Structure 1
Amino acid sequence: MRFGHRAAAGIATLLLPLAGLVGLTGPSVSFGFNGTGAGSPSNCTLNGAGCDGGSPLPGDNPPSAPGTPTASGITDTSVQLSWPAATDDKGVKNYDVLRDGAKVATVTTTSYADTGLSAGTDYSYTVQARDTADQTGPVSGAVAVHTTGGTTNPPPTSGSAVKLGYFTEWGIYGRNYNVKNLVTSGSASKITHINYAFGNVTGGKCAIGDSYADYDKAFTADQSVSGVADTWDQPLRGNFNQLRQLKAKYPDIKVLWSFGGWTWSGGFGDAAKDPAAFAQSCYDLVEDSRWADVFDGIDIDWEYPNACGLSCDTSGAAAFKNVMAALRAKFGSSALVTAAVTADGSAGGKIEAADYAGAAQYVNWYNVMTYDFFGAWDAQGPTAPHSPLTSYSGIPKAGFTTADAIAEYKAIGVPAGKLLIGIGFYGRGWTGVTQDAPGGTATGPAAGTYEQGIEDYKVLKTSCPATGTVAGTAYAHCGSNWWSYDTPATIGTKMAWAKNQGLGGAFFWEFSGDTAGGELVSALSNGLS
């Protein structure tokens, strides 16, 4: 049977077997055009696809999206990219590499080295596959890259950098670390701010964390900053009174009361339901007449807004911004309002779950928790530094670095001067490890003084000295144990990087992990001076 299709000029005929016309199934169909004259068929479709020689071809689907690229080997002017392959029913021909949305290369492999970049600059990379018919598929997820070096952002003015340390209320117990230790270690003279951790968040309100430690414990003369013992009838005892004495001795130090933390962040969901009421409760507690002179502001440690930490929050992307706006409105412009925030710079990670850019207008700064990226919660490894500054070959998860986190915050519009780099005064480690370099297998967490898989720097310094460095931080392999931690040298490297990035300063968790002479605090302070 013969059917005719009239072209723009001339006559074309389409030959089909009868089975193809009456919907019968069975043998494959072959067909073609026989035409005369100039021009070509128009408006010709078969099963919804073009049959006039154009694209897409009938029955040929475009390729899938490739996997999100991974960035490694980042330098001042280059980056190495690699990505999981796309799939296609007819075969993938090549890949377009897009930098900030513009094609910079077409490659036939699943890797590409981009060169000629600017130092200290943010870039975003995606990849798009092309099949043998030159059909392009959807674009992959994006990876943020910040090249090293550069002077895009001026360093903070000398003397203006924030040098902040966390003091834990429970440190006065088993750790026997009192406010006075900030004086005897020399650390009090080298910091600008203290975050007192933690106040609780419960019932939609700010609440006392440990009343005995906070304002009731009586310190002896040798434990006291002033050298005078507390008495049973004085109006205020505990850590709050010791902080008051510290501020009298070092009047330039500012103290913030930090609420939440890993354990108590589950209460922020209720707080977000009525931000104004939450802010009022926090103000009433921080400004209580018994200790109002002790505190210069409030810090919120929500782990994590609209994402999961110890528990999962589903309060929505706007909740964090709403809470910070309410706190600023209540505390006013003269008080310090800050927040500890995630350092998950991976594609689709926690930074993207909440409106950190919108909330930035209400805070003095963000403490970006650039540590705890990797640890022995992955009991079999691979071993990896818990606080890498940059990416490195073999990193277990792309985007889990300080540089990636800072780059993403800057990319969404958070000013560099409102970002503080975080340093852990402890290490994370595994046991059952035979390999010295990162990437080894393990049998479980290494033993720690207070918790499996974690140990203070002051202990690791001598018990398992560093044997190498990777991605700007140190690691140590001793016996069957493998640890990663920061040393005075690596802290110096990180402080130089922070200054070059124009960051507002640095913070650390927490004082009691340092040596008796405060060598880590000294390295941080000297590095920012």
Structure 2
Amino acid sequence: MTAALLGGLGALITPSAAQAANLLSNPGFESGTLSDWSCTGNTGSVVSNPVHGGTKALAGAASATDNARCSQTVSVQPNTAYTLSAWVRGNYVHLGVVGGAATWTPSASGYTQLTVSFTTGASQRTAEVYLHGWYGQGTYHADDLSLDGPGGGDDGEAPTTPSSPRVTGTSTTSVSLAWNASTDNVGVTGYDVHRDGALATSVTGTAATVTGLTAGTEYRFTIRAKDRAGNVSPHSPAVTATTDETGGEDPRFVQAAPYLYLGWGNPPSPAEVVNTTGVKWFTMAFILAQNGCNPAWDSQRPLTGGVDESTIQAIRAAGGDIVPSIGGWSGNKLGPNCSSAEALAGAYQKVIDAYDLKAIDVDIENTDEFENAVVQDRILGALKIVKQNNPGLRTILTFPTLNTGPNSWGNRLIERAHALDADIDNFTIMPFNFGGGADMYGSTVKATHGLKNKLMSAFGWNEAQAYAHIGISGMNDSSDTGEVTTPQIWTQIRDWANSHDIGRLAFWSVNRDRPNWEFTSITAGFTG
């Protein structure tokens, strides 16, 4: 194996000794993402259990048609010895380097360390290391990988200093920043944002939002660029920002936004609904995928130039506004069709730019998005990116629930939102379809209590903070399973929501609320 890597000169040259350094980026997946790793067929995800060290590990979902291969390419020195190791768990887990050594374990019920050594060729400058399971053998786990040896020998050049740092937005608890890109002889891989001398966040683009700040407080920020070899630029010039004062305008995100769907049910005149009921927001359904990672209404109608854009204009002319619902139960969705968080963020950005939006809602349901760990993380990553790139934008996640609160997939979604620092403004549950005859008021309150408790546990919020991040999206009249929510019950739910200062109230749908817009009028009385 060594001779193959060294080629014809292998017998004449003595490999240099490796130095103690881990060349892999994100080796323990503690970033909470697959950053710097590439996994085939969206088979990789980051999990919090089981782990070997730290709090995160890789899960590779091997199937009958995909061995869940995850790889990373690093810079190396020619004619140099390296040692690759990983802690793995599962059946037929393989570890190796392309063109070099490999090893595997037939079965590891607990974490077992795999190790291989290899020597680079005389002119080799990169090495691709990989892990994979085996077809039909189920999910494997890996953690705490290490590639021990000296980094790419010729890259001792640091990136240039990020220039023109600037404040692009503030709130009571956050500051949004932007800067001009750095350059590097090989390539810039990311930026570290420092707050008052300490690392606050790391991003791959030229904008970031630092959260968790205190109202009415001045902060000082600098930015440093970094490359794959670990070279880091000098700090940028400092920029200062003061968070907004508490008081005055309500800093909370409060939205009463019943669904309006132009693809079904003789859609009503939105201006008539606004003028009759006083409602100011509509959740407008549904943005889906068209021809890959391209957003379109119902996968068919373009974002601009059609009935959807003219409807939005009519709503705004009447004094209202819209939040688009991206996803839903059925249809061809953006989450599975976009290949990465960055690509998905680009699709979301097209929607934001088309309508100059103040908020977006991702309705994450069914097995293709909600019950898919990779897609969950992709959606959260994309929402984090657009939040950073659009200061002031509000982000909403809408998802199903049990009558006791989030199910295991809902719990995971919340935990990952915290781990990825996605900065979601509102977690909206859909408390219905529990079964015919359910107590819709009692079940809704019970489910919302469960969500509140999960948010407090995951984020460390108090009750008031948790409620402020909660939304309820009900179903007027009869649900899919025959439950009945009457106007009287919906009024009870609205009043309970107001008394607990939750952040959002919606229902499906205005199209079904005829002839008097009774549920819409009740919803318009939601004040948070």
**TM-score, with normalisation over the residues of structure 2?**
0.45
**TM-score, with normalisation over the residues of structure 1?**
0.45
* Structure with a larger share of its residues in strand: 2
Determine which structure has more spread, i.e. the larger CA radius of gyration: 1
